[in-house]
Chain A
């Protein structure tokens, strides 16, 4: 597997991303990754805050609009994340904190999907379900998981276990 990682890292594409002396390579991809983070976590935070009681005049039914930017941001980060990984494949492959980050993102997304299922009925025209204690707990969990994912992501620049 590590051989494959080295091969990835040695590819012309990876070399360009990691080393091209232009801000359109690594710096811009990293910036898009950060923008995507702001969109995913930001949209999630607005959803969670509303469920926890902020801005009660905002109809819960309208919260559905948040899922589109959330998933757009996620896919932006999935793509830029893969590119950033390829650029330093062997190093990232060996970083435990990288897998912690991926796991936290996965669980956070599952939590977001569960929240959506809890509040929006399958029948589009039906009124939204009441915000139960369970939904509020999921909202708190989501906030903690995103903060954890950001922390793990940041620590990738500091903890090198390979």
Chain B
């Protein structure tokens, strides 16, 4: 564990929010986990649908129409960000010591930055693409990176229960 971050973890553990999650853990933890899985399905389902169109599949589907679904992927991401932060601040040192946690975080960063890059740098080009048209190589790379990174997030999220110290709620 990174020793420089220890004071931060101790501070997190001292917050009222951290105490609340730990106090109410019996019902709160299963509830947050369920929400985390629902968010996962939203994110993977909707973003995966978009990614496959970016890869050039689903011909005949206008890419701009598929993009209209993306706010729902963002809803899923938001649910998982909130529940994920609550998981973390309840036991920050346990997560930080878990060797699956850092790769999970890295994949979240890659997936997030990839989506932000696409949104800001390629948004206009996307709207010009016809419904039956193949996608340019740049779109295919973005789609592949997105699929791989969200799968990585899911994989290492699952591995949290099997790598390192047992997290109390898992």
Interface of B is mostly: helix
Does B46 interact with chain A (Cβ within 8 Å)? yes
The smallest C-beta distance from A161 to any residue of chain B, in angstroms, reads: 15
Q: For residues 59 through 75 of chain B, which have their beta carbon under 8 Å from a beta carbon of chain A?
A: 60-62, 64-69, 72
The smallest C-beta distance from B118 to any residue of chain A, in angstroms, reads: 18
Q: Which residues of A contact B128 (CB under 8 A)?
A: none
Does A151 interact with chain B (Cβ within 8 Å)? yes
The smallest C-beta distance from B57 to any residue of chain A, in angstroms, reads: 8
- Which of B41, B48, B69 interacts with A54 by CB under 8 Å? B69
Interface of A is mostly: helix
Residues A58 and B65 in contact, CB atoms below 8 Å apart: yes
Given A27-B158, A27-B162; A54-B40 close (CB under 8 Å): no
- Which of B30, B49, B60 interacts with A46 by CB under 8 Å? B49
Q: B1-9, B31-39, B87-95, B106-114: which lies at the A interface?
A: B31-39
Q: Which residues of B contact A110 (CB under 8 A)?
A: none
Residues A23 and B159 in contact, CB atoms below 8 Å apart: yes
Residues of B within 8 A of A (CB): 30, 33-34, 37-38, 40-42, 44-46, 48-49, 58, 60-62, 64-69, 72, 151, 154-155, 158-159, 161-162
- Top 5 closest A-B pairs, CB basis? A42-B45, A38-B44, A55-B68, A57-B65, A41-B41
